[in-house]
């Protein structure tokens, strides 16, 4: 008998820890489209050896993943991440059988409808999801002509970038509130990148307790915020890390 959805939900919710397949190309959960349901899925395993076997099989298609362990106390953070990247299902593997579970059956999405728009945390789930799919395909180590649907994925990504808002961090001096500096990331060759984030979860990965403020800006404003010494803007540098230089930012924004 196949594993029922109800049994899969019970197993997942009562597991003391689980292993999530993360893509090495995005530093985010590995996402696939369900063959029968067309749901956007993340793979969750009960046992470490099973996620390792899953990763070995994916290597045949040049797909690189890593298993990330989540203990039960971290499940809320995990499910919040899945909602933030617009995933709507998980595939649960208990070591013998697998079953797809709708995300809404195991976790509730935070309800922002009752909040005033100005007080709602920024999220761009559609942008996160298409960015994940695009980067998973773009960074796959295969010839360009073997990267499926890359052009369509890029067009979808660009469309979502243009209509999104972003969080741009700034550091305010405790001694002088008028003194503001912009944090940078430095590449291996010494180039400076300015970070921008699609949501509060990605921002928190970067700040990690630092005294930073963030302003919310539309994509079309990003080219004007890029400082002279900055080589490019890095969108979600701790996530899918989309690096766009000044000309690319202007072109996507439609200003050139």
Q: What is the pLDDT of residues 54-64, one digit of tens each?
A: 999 999 999 99
Domain 117-253 bears CATH identifier 3.40.1350.90: yes
Look at residue 256 in the predicted model and tell me its pLDDT. 45
Domains 5-105 and 117-253 share a fold: yes
Instruction: Calculate ∠ Cα 7-20-109, nearest 5°.
Output: 70
Q: How far is CA 132 from CA 24, 92, 254, in A?
A: 11, 20, 23
Q: What is the pLDDT of residues 158-177, one digit of tens each?
A: 999 999 999 999 887 777 76
Q: What is the pLDDT of residues 128-155, one digit of tens each?
A: 999 999 999 999 999 988 888 899 999 9
| Domain ranges, ordered by start, for the chain | 5-105, 117-253
Determine the topology of domain 5-105 in CATH: Trna Endonuclease; Chain: A, domain 1 (3.40.1350)
pLDDT band at 231 (very low <50, low <70, confident <90, very high): very high
Q: What is the pLDDT of residues 67-92, one digit of tens each?
A: 999 999 999 999 999 999 999 999 99
């Amino acid at each position: 008998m196949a594993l029922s959805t109800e049994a899969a939900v019970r197993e997942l919710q009562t597991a003391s820890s689980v292993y999530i397949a993360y893509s090495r190309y995005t530093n985010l959960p590995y996402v696939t489209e369900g063959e029968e349901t067309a749901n956007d899925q993340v793979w969750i395993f009960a046992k470490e050896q099973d996620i390792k076997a899953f990763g070995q099989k994916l290597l045949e298609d040049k797909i690189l993943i890593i298993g990330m362990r989540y203990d039960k106390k971290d499940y809320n953070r995990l499910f919040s991440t899945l909602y933030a990247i617009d995933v709507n299902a998980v595939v649960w593997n208990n070591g013998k059988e697998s079953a797809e579970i709708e995300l809404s059956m195991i976790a509730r999405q935070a309800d922002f409808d009752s909040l005033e728009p100005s007080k709602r945390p920024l999220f761009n789930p559609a942008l996160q999801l298409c960015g994940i799919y695009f980067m998973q395909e773009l960074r796959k180590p295969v010839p360009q002509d073997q990267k499926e649907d890359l052009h369509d994925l890029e067009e979808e990504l660009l469309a979502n970038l243009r209509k999104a808002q972003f969080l741009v961090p700034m550091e305010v001096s405790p001694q002088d509130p008028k003194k503001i500096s912009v944090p940078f990331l430095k590449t291996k060759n010494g180039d400076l990148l300015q970070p921008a984030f699609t949501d509060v979860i990605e921002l928190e990965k970067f700040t990690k307790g630092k005294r930073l403020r963030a302003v919310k800006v539309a994509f079309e404003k990003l080219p004007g915020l890029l400082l002279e010494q900055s080589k490019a803007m890095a969108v979600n540098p701790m996530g899918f890390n989309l690096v766009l230089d000044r000309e690319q930012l202007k072109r996507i924004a439609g200003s050139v």
